[in-house]
């Protein structure tokens, strides 16, 4: 069977979601998928970014990563989104990218994409779950097949027990509070596995 095509698409301001996306991409490759690690376009003006050291560093660290396009969405069998919460919901950068896929939606090319999502916030109740669920609401309109981790592996509990998608708290030092690496790996492997089942079913 042809390899599952996995697009890992992230937005990251301080590097947290970039790291989660890299873990997801690594896990996807180890699970046998063909993987594209992609970022969405930054919308904030340079003068605003320049005032935040971590933001500047993330822009520099991700400068060589390709920006996601509609072609990447059409190519993918499975997609993992990773983005921080912004006032309890999806950041504008990712939301704009999702909003730009209306052409594919109108052609029915978003139907049955296998999708999972991850997020972060500055405190445990800062909107992490809400952001993941808001991404999933958009995916329902796509007709996508949503793959949450649920409680299908012990790593979910170690990471904080979020059944919707791996989420993490960013501490005051800018680092992750919870240990989520294995939960991200599990979520990515699970996403690829479900995509394999669907791909095999469609082609069988």
Tens-digit pLDDT profile for residues 25-66:
999 999 999 999 999 999 999 999 999 999 999 999 999 999
Give the pLDDT confidence score for residue 68 in this predicted structure: 98
Query: Which of the residues in the chain have pLDDT under 50?
Result: none
Going by C-beta distance under 8 Å and a sequence separation of 6 or more, which residues neighbour residue 204? none
Strand spans (E) along the chain: 5-10, 34-39, 78-84, 114-121, 145-146, 167-169
Query: What was the pLDDT predicted at 124?
Result: 85
Please give the tally of structural domains in the chain: 1
pLDDT of residue 204: 59
Query: The CATH number of the domain where 104 resides is what?
Result: 3.40.50.360
Bridge partner residues of 86 (DSSP): 89
**113: closest CA among 67, 86, 155, 75?**
75
For 71, the domain range is 5-203
Measured from the Cβ of residue 130, the count of other Cβ atoms closer than 10 Å reads 18
Task: Read off the pTM.
Answer: 0.96
pLDDT at 98: 98
């Amino acid at each position: 069977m042809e390899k599952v095509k996995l697009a890992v698409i992230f937005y990251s301001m301080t590097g947290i979601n970039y790291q989660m996306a890299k873990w997801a991409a690594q896990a996807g490759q180890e699970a046998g998928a063909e993987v594209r690690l992609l970022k969405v376009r930054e919308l904030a003006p340079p003068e605003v970014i320049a005032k935040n050291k971590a933001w500047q560093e993330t822009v520099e660290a991700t400068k060589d990563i390709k920006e996601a396009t509609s072609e990447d969405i059409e190519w993918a069998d499975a997609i993992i989104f990773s983005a921080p919460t912004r006032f309890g919901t999806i950041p504008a950068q990712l939301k704009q990218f999702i909003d730009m896929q209306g052409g594919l939606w109108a052609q029915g090319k978003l139907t049955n994409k296998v999708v999972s999502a991850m997020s972060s916030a500055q405190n445990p109740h800062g909107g992490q779950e809400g952001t993941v669920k808001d991404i999933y609401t958009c995916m329902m309109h796509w007709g996508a097949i949503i793959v949450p981790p649920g409680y299908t592996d012990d790593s979910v509990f170690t990471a904080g027990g979020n059944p919707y998608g791996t989420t993490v708290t960013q501490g005051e030092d800018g680092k992750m509070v919870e240990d989520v690496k294995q939960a991200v790996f599990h979520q990515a492997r699970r996403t690829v596995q479900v995509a394999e089942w669907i791909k095999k079913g469609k082609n069988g």
